[in-house]
Each structure stands twice: as C-alpha cells, then as structure tokens.
C-alpha cells in the first residue's frame, strides 16, 4: 500500500505542476492584457484546487506511514529526516494554503483584472515554494523517487 501511495503522490505532482503553470500563464496574460475572466479561468483554478488538495491528502497519509518521518531527538540533526518530517510538509502546506487563498478570494472579486492578478501572484508564490522544496529534497523535478 505504501509503495502505491508513494507512486500516486509522486505522479500526481506533475499534474499539479502542469495545472499550476496553466493557471499562472492564463491569469498573467489575463491580468496584463486586461482580458475578461472566463469560464476556463474559473475551471482551471478549480481543477488546480481539487488536484492540490488530493495531492496534500495523499501526502498526509504518506506522512504517517513513511519511514523517513521520525519524531525523535535525532530528527533535527539528520538533514534527510528533518526534511521529510518538518520542511517538506510545512512548505507544501504553505503552498496549498496559497493556492486555496488564490481561488477562494478571487471568486469573490468583481473586477476581472483583480481576479487574474490574485490568481497569478498567489499561484506563482506557491509554484516557487513547491519547486524549491522539491529541489531541497535532493530529487530532480522529473524523478519519481521520494
């Protein structure tokens, strides 16, 4: 079960990153080009939100089953244990919160330019946090290893 969850979590990361890039590009073009906020903009941000939350839930299940997550006195002194026990989960939680805030607050905005701007900025921050966190873990972006 653990290996299946691990592969699902690793594979779903690509869908999250692709959707994140799509939302960032579409919303940046909409913001800078002063374009209307369309149904596809709304659907992309919704798909990103759903996929990100599924990814986070898979990650939480893995968190409590992983041999790399340990709560002991040695955890903070071991960079790999510290990364999986603290750094990865905290950074990804921040990214999920940013994506959630982007979606939920942009829905209530009236002006299309403001909606695009909110989605672009918050999702860009989440994107960079995710990329940096993956890089800090010593894995390549294209790696299926955890």
pLDDT digits (tens, 9 = 90+) for 54-75: 999 999 999 999 998 999 999 9
What does the pLDDT read at residue 146? 47
**Total-model pTM:** 0.91
Distance CA 99, CA 141 (A): 20
Q: Is 60 exceeded by the pLDDT of residue 145?
A: no
Q: What is the pLDDT of residues 103-139, one digit of tens each?
A: 999 999 999 999 999 999 999 999 999 999 999 988 6
Where are the chain's structural domains? 2-68+78-136
Q: Which helix (H) or strand (E) holds 125?
A: helix 112-136
Q: What is the pLDDT of residues 81-90, one digit of tens each?
A: 999 999 999 9
Q: Which helix (H) or strand (E) holds 73?
A: none
What does the pLDDT read at residue 141? 61
Instruction: Work out the burial of residue 145: count CB atoms within 10 Å of its CB; fewer than 13 is exposed, 13-18 middle, 19 or more buried.
Output: exposed
């Amino acid at each position: 079960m653990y290996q299946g969850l691990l592969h699902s979590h690793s594979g779903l990361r690509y869908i999250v990153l692709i959707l994140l890039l799509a939302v960032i590009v579409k919303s940046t073009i909409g913001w800078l080009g002063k374009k209307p906020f369309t149904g596809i903009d709304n659907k992309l941000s919704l798909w990103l939100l759903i996929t990100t939350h599924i990814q986070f839930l898979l990650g939480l299940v893995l968190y409590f089953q992983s041999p790399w997550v340990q709560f002991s006195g040695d955890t903070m002194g071991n960079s790999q244990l510290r990364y999986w026990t603290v750094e990865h989960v905290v950074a990804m939680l921040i990214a999920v919160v940013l994506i959630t805030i982007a979606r939920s607050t942009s829905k209530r905005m009236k002006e299309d330019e403001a909606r695009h701007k909110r989605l672009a900025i918050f999702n860009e921050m989440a994107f960079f946090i995710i990329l940096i966190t993956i890089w800090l873990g010593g894995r390549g972006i294209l790696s299926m290893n955890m």
